[in-house]
Structure formats: structure tokens, C-alpha cells
Structure 1
Amino acid sequence: MEPIVWEWANFLVRWLHVITAIAWIGSSFYFIHLDLSLRRREGLAEGAAGEAWQIHGGGFYHMVKYMVAPAELPEKLTWFKWESYATWLSGFCLLAVLYYHGANLFLIDPEVLNLPWWGAILISLGALGLGWHVYDRMCKSPLGKDDTKLALAGFVFLVAVAWGLSHVFSGRAAMLHVGALIGTIMSANVFRLIIPNQRKAVAAMMAGEVPDPALGKAAKQRSLHNNYLTLPVVFLMISNHYPLAFGTRYSWVIVAVVLVVGAAIRHFFNSKHAGKPAPWWTWGVAAAGMVAIVALSTVGPKDSVAASPASADFAQVEEIVTSRCSMCHAASPVWEGIAAPPRGVRLDSAEEIRRHAGPIRSWAVLSNAMPPGNVTQITPEERQVLAAWTDQLPR
């Protein structure tokens, strides 16, 4: 019964995480668009930075933004924070259900670093907490006064984290943890700075004081960071389903390229929303980045050997797959904690092995995603036998 309970916990928490993430990303994109589309005109109220007219759902909306605060605080004020908090909390629950509960299968790869399960979990928690602290210190340092320098420093920091985690966790867990760190930074920006600064502004108004403009400026900087990080974090969080992203030799370089691609795409739309000339060059950067990612994914896993046999007998292939894969990929898996064959893929017969030749190539030849954490200790030479066999098959 326990594997079934954890399987449904995984599904339901993942569902909740997707729902809350949609709500958070949607509201974030909307307010960035609104902020950039504001236009000044004569006759606006004192302190108003601009206005925007919008139409939706059969009605017109008139939006006005105050750079600091309006002269009088309205009786009803809507706060946008729970989308962020719920996304992080559900994401952390999903991390615990999938990676902490299944640490020996998904979090740890003994060939990368042979960690005890508790040690891997402590490193995971430390990476999230320390990562946020380093980012926050960077923003509050002199670097924070120059957005360009801060962005470059943040990029170098995240790439360094990706490289470091690739030497600690399994490829799947390393890439997902970079996404989890970015998600933690984004949510902590809301919880630790954006909302507190807004509360300070409201408290100042209620005390009859003029709010400090620096509060809004700092909050806007963090909000802009969240906006540019959104596309990369979505890529990283779904990467665990795609072995050519996380299970290859240069997965940390792929993270670096994704950060650039995501930022380029957001820059295009932010410029369009602001009414500036469309920077079409950003799509060239994005396209070149995706070509680079595909090329990097073809290099293969880091444990690949120099040469593979010219051909492979299917009896060899069947023996390798049966001994290394079928304990999970069977009608009745014998691996503890797995109630059904992952993704519905069975590899417990010659017919099923031939039918899944394509996924075998992606998950065990072009990447080292399977077996997860190499728990069955498949060798580089065995992967090359699988490579030779899949090379012989018609595409």
C-alpha cells in the first residue's frame, strides 16, 4: 500500500504545484506588462506615474500606478503574495515527496558522490538556504546599484551553483535543484523584501507620513529579477522528464545557456510592452542557444567510453536490459517503493525491449539518466553495447 500512497502524493502535490505556479507566473507577467505599458498624460492625480486602459471580458479597465502611494489609502487593498507562497510550499513538498523520500534512487548517484541519504538532504536544504543568502547579499551590496553588473554577477553565481551541484547530486537532481534555488530566490524576494516594503509603505501612510521611495525601488528591482528568471526556472523544473537535458556531460552548461535564452525572450516581450522598438535580435540569440543546447546534449554521458562495438547481438542487449532495468520496468516491479513500471514502460521481454529501443537510446545511451543514480551499476561498456544495437535499428 505504501508505494501507492507515495505515488498519489506525488501526483496530487505536483498538480497543486502546477496550479499555483500558473497563478503566480500569470500574475507576475500581467503586472510586468501593466507596469511597462503605463503612459503619462496631463491631468493625472498627484503622485501618479502613469495610466493604462485595458479591455477584457466585455468591459474596460482603467489602471493608474502611484510611484510611492496615493494621497489616501483605499479601504480595500488587494495583496498579491499567496500565489508565490503556495508555489514555493507546494514545490518544496514535491521535492520532499520525490527526492527526499526517494533519495537513494533520484537524489544520490554514487558514481558522482557516494552520500548517505541524510547527508544529501542536508546539502539540498543548505544549497537552497545559502543560495538565497548569497543572492540577497549581492543585491544589497554595491553591485545592487548597477543592474547590469548585478545581472552578470547573478548569472555567474547560478552557473557556478549548477557546476557544483553536478558534482554532488545525480544529473536529474542537480538540474532540478538549480531550478529549486531560483524558485526559492523568487519566492523569498516576495516574502522577505517586496511584501515587507509594501507593508512599510502602508504603515507610513497610516501614520500620516510619506513612504520612502527607496522601498518601492528595491521592490521593483526584485520583481524585475523574478520576471527574467521565470522562463529559465520553468525549463529547469520540467527538465527531470527529459534525459537529454539533465543526463548528459555538459548539463551545467545547458543551464547557463537556458538562463541566457530565457532572459533574451523576456527582454523581447518587456521591450514590446514598454512600446520600444522590438529587439528582434533576441530571437536569434534564443535560436542559437537552443541549437547549442541540442549540440551539447549529443555529446553523451560523462561516463561514456571512447569506442563502441561495430555491432551488438540482441542476446547481449536482452541480458543487459533484463539485469539492469527490468526490476523496475516490469509488470510487477520488485524495486522497493515502485508500485508500477515507470511511465508504463515494461522491459521484461524481448518484444518490449525492441518496442522501446528509442527511449532506451535516449535514457541509457545518449544520457545516463537510467538507471537513476545508476543503482544497478550499469557499466560504460554495457551502455556502448546498447549504443551499437540502437545504431543498427532503422530511424
Structure 2
Amino acid sequence: MLTSYILDWLSLGFRWLHVLAAIAWIGSSFKYVWVDNNLRKPPKWKEDKGIKGDVWVIHGGGIYEFQKYNVAPERMPDVLHWVKWESYTTWLTGFMLVSVIYYGQAATYMLAAEGLITSPMISVLAGLGFLLGTLGIYECLIRTPLVRKGPVFAVTMGSVLLGLSYLAFELFAPRAAALHVGAAIGTLMTGNVFFGIVPSQKAFVKAIEEGREPDVNRAAFAKLRSTHNNYFTLPVIMLMISNHYPIIYSHAHGWLLIVAIGAISAYARHFFNLRNQGVLKPHILAIAAVAMVAVAYAIRPIPVALTQADTEVETQTHSLPPVTDLEGLSLIQTHCSNCHSTTPTQPGFVAPPAGIVFESADQIKALAPKVRSVAVDSQYMPLGNFTNMTTEERLRLGRWLDGLSQ
């Protein structure tokens, strides 16, 4: 009990810090992309000072001027702020969060009911390998000539992520799989900062301090990495919050679904990047909205297709007497209440998930359609089917829940 209590506090602490750091990183990233895209040709006297462009902003009762140099000012400032720790902190806290929840409780959260991996330790090693492997693939791709062809590189990277998503859903439990795809993208984003952007900036500043001409190609490459991060941001945010929505990760084609939603959100981001450059293409948002509605329609709840054996079980089940409240409550007690009770007995839980408690018929009736959706139709719950709930039990539970909903 004490261990679970400590894990809950660690989870809360790392999640809080992770969100705070992510807000800071995303905010600064979006801000400087916005500044770059809104730079306008400066007056002649600024151009003579080597200023490439400027943008003026009013905010919080004051007027601000942002200006970007072609290379650098005649005299470097005494204090030069670096934007890097926001990224590092986001990744470190995210990794600690994954370690506490998923790797520390791998038997509960990492293993799929019929997955390729059956050992908790192997699942942890596979998770780490997945993160490093994604980073390695991206770092190889970004060093190829493909990177100079934006649309081609985007399609290539999208295809790679699609394959990696499929692999993740084969290796891990669906919820862990979706999270690892997001964590992998977050890892390559921080890799962009650590391996590309910051080293380039250090070399840039050093060249100026030594009176040498900075390598503009290397600086441009760092800028490209930053742009990639800008497009990765919305998909990563979606994947960060996806573990609260089984409709996404528990779908039979969840691996395809998360990539599709990610691609749509990245495409929507393109609208804002263009708009900030003075190019207005509202059809991008319209297409993104239609695509998202189409995805939502495509994954609408449909009962899981039954095998011939399951169909026979269903026929036999319907020939049995109606499900009594006593039997229904017993099924809930056996397969749900070990987590969803005021005092959970399942290791790793000190409070009911999402605050949902099933200890009376009234409590169950209030959520009957949702319980049916996850326990009977999608069969996502119990998590990993660790209670070994049978098809007959699911069908009996469904009949009872249908009666409660009437």
C-alpha cells in the first residue's frame, strides 16, 4: 500500500513538471516560429546594421520590438539567452513519468493480452529500444538529400512513423503503444535540440567571438530542425492526452488511427505557419476538419465481430435465463471492482481510476453504456484482460447492462 502511495505521488509530481516544462517549450517554440514567419523588411538604417527583419508587438501594456540579424550584431550582448532547458526538462520529466507508471509497473501497463512480449523486463527493454531506434532512424533520414525536399521528407517520415506505430501496437498493450509513439516523437524532438540546434548555436557564437564567418549552412540546418519540431508538436500533444481516451488507442486499428490524427493536426499547423507569412489558405483548415470528422465517423463504436465459437457461446447465452442483479454485480465484482472501488485491491492502484467506483447497482447503472462500450463491445477492459474475462461473461454482462439502461 505504501509503495503504491509513493508511486502515485511520483506520478503526480513528474506529470505536473512534465506539463509545466512542455508548456514552456512549446510556448517558446511557437513564439519564435511566429516571430520568424512575421519578420518584415526593415527600414534602410536597420539594414545597414545587418538586421534581416523586424516585427513589433503590443502585449501586457507594453510595446516590444523583435529583430533578427542576418548574422550577428556588431557587438555581442553581455547576456545571451539560450532556449534549451525547456526541451531537456520536458524530455527528462516525461521519461521519468513513463518509468514510474509503465516501466515500474510493466506487468500491468506494458503487456498486451496476446502480445508478442510476455516478460515485463523484456517489455521495458523493448520500450527503451523503441525510443532510441526512432531517434536513430530520424537522425539518419535528416542527413540524407531527402531533407531538402520538404513534401517528400514529410511523406517518408510519416511512413516511418506508421510502421513504428504498427510495431508498437504489436509489442505493447494499446495504451502503452500509443504513449510510446508519442514518447518516441518527443525523443527525436529533444534530439533535434541536443544534437542539432544547440551545437550549431554554440559553433555560431564561437565563430563570432573568434572573428570568423559563421557556417550559415549549419545554422540553416538547425533552423530546419526547429521547423520539424514545430510540425511534430501538435501530434505529440495529441498522443500525450490519448491515454485518457480508449476510443483511440483501443481501436482495432489504433496504430493507424494515431498516425492519421497526427498527420491531420500537423497539416492544420501548416495553415498557421503560412498565415504568419502572410499566405492565407483557409481550405487547409477545412480539409483538416473534414478529415477529423471522417476519422471520428470511421471509428464509431461497432461491436467486436464474433468468431464462430463466440457466436455459439452467444446463442447459448441468450438461451439462458435473464441475468439477475446478483449475477451482474458478481461479474462487476470479479472483473472491475478490484480497481474501481473505494479501496482497490489491484497492485499499483491506491484510488479508483478516473474516480469511477462500482459498488452498487445505481453506480453501475449511471455508467452502463460506457461500461458496455469498453468491457463488451471493444473488450478493452479489464486492462490487458488480467482477470481472464471470458466471452460468455462479457455477453452476460452486456445483457445485464442493457437491462439497466432501459
Name structure 1 gaps, 5 residues minimum.
Answer: none
Aligned partner (choices 250, 253, 276) of residue 250 of structure 1:
253
Give the aligned partner of residue 351 of structure 1.
Answer: 362
CA contact 1:47–1:67 (8 Å) conserved in 2: yes
Residue 76, structure 1, aligned to residue 79, structure 2: yes
Task: Count how many residue pairs are aligned between Structure 1 and Structure 2.
Answer: 394
CA contact 2:304–2:377 (8 Å) conserved in 1: no
Residue 18, structure 1, aligned to residue 19, structure 2: yes
TM-score, normalised to structure 2's length? 0.91
Give the aligned partner of residue 282 of structure 1.
Answer: 284
C-alpha distance in 2, partners of 1:226/1:387? 45
C-alpha distance in 2, partners of 1:389/1:250? 29
Name structure 2 gaps, 5 residues minimum.
Answer: none
Relative to structure 1, the CA distance from residue 387 to residue 275 in structure 2 (aligned partners, 3 Å threshold; closer, same or farther) is farther
Alpha-carbon shift at residue 57 of structure 1 (Å): 1.5
Q: Deviations over 1:32-83 (max 9, x none)?
A: 1111000113412344221111111111111111243333322110101111
Superposed counterparts of 1:102-251, under 5 Å = 102-251=105-254
Residue 383, structure 1, aligned to residue 394, structure 2: yes
Alpha-carbon shift at residue 142 of structure 1 (Å): 1.5
TM-score, normalised to structure 1's length? 0.93
Residue 52, structure 1, aligned to residue 58, structure 2: no
Relative to structure 1, the CA distance from residue 366 to residue 194 in structure 2 (aligned partners, 3 Å threshold; closer, same or farther) is farther
Q: Deviations over 1:144-191 (max 9, x none)?
A: 121111111110011111111111101100011110011111111111
Q: Deviations over 1:176-226 (max 9, x none)?
A: 111001111111111110011000000111111010111121111111111
Give the aligned partner of residue 326 of structure 1.
Answer: 337
CA contact 1:110–1:374 (8 Å) conserved in 2: yes
C-alpha distance in 1, partners of 2:216/2:391? 60
Give the aligned partner of residue 34 of structure 1.
Answer: 35
Residue 270, structure 1, aligned to residue 273, structure 2: yes
C-alpha distance in 1, partners of 2:401/2:69? 62
Range moving further from structure 2, 385-394 or 69-78? 385-394
CA contact 1:229–1:262 (8 Å) conserved in 2: no
Amino acid at match of 2:136: H
Alpha-carbon shift at residue 343 of structure 1 (Å): 1.9
Amino acid at match of 2:84: K
Range moving further from structure 2, 135-144 or 293-302? 293-302
Q: Which has the higher contact order (CA 8 A, sep 6+)?
A: 1
Identity of aligned residues (%): 38
CA contact 2:196–2:222 (8 Å) conserved in 1: yes
Amino acid at match of 2:295: I
Relative to structure 1, the CA distance from residue 41 to residue 331 in structure 2 (aligned partners, 3 Å threshold; closer, same or farther) is closer
Give the aligned partner of residue 292 of structure 1.
Answer: 294
C-alpha distance in 1, partners of 2:86/2:103? 24
Alpha-carbon shift at residue 291 of structure 1 (Å): 1.9
Range moving further from structure 2, 60-69 or 5-14? 60-69
Q: Deviations over 1:119-158 (max 9, x none)?
A: 0000000010110010110010121121111111110011
The alignment yields a C-alpha RMSD, in angstroms, of: 2.2
Alpha-carbon shift at residue 325 of structure 1 (Å): 1.3
Alpha-carbon shift at residue 299 of structure 1 (Å): 5.2
C-alpha distance in 1, partners of 2:348/2:262? 35
Relative to structure 1, the CA distance from residue 16 to residue 358 in structure 2 (aligned partners, 3 Å threshold; closer, same or farther) is farther
Relative to structure 1, the CA distance from residue 52 to residue 332 in structure 2 (aligned partners, 3 Å threshold; closer, same or farther) is same
C-alpha distance in 1, partners of 2:15/2:303? 28
Alpha-carbon shift at residue 240 of structure 1 (Å): 0.6
CA contact 2:238–2:262 (8 Å) conserved in 1: no
Alpha-carbon shift at residue 356 of structure 1 (Å): 2.5
CA contact 1:265–1:283 (8 Å) conserved in 2: yes
Alpha-carbon shift at residue 251 of structure 1 (Å): 0.6
**Partner secondary structure for residue 337 of structure 1:** coil
C-alpha distance in 2, partners of 1:291/1:63? 39
CA contact 1:244–1:362 (8 Å) conserved in 2: no
Aligned partner (choices 320, 323, 326) of residue 313 of structure 1:
323
CA contact 2:323–2:399 (8 Å) conserved in 1: no
C-alpha distance in 1, partners of 2:182/2:305? 24
C-alpha distance in 1, partners of 2:358/2:366? 9
Say which one has the larger Rg: 2
C-alpha distance in 2, partners of 1:235/1:365? 26
C-alpha distance in 2, partners of 1:114/1:138? 29
**Partner secondary structure for residue 112 of structure 1:** coil
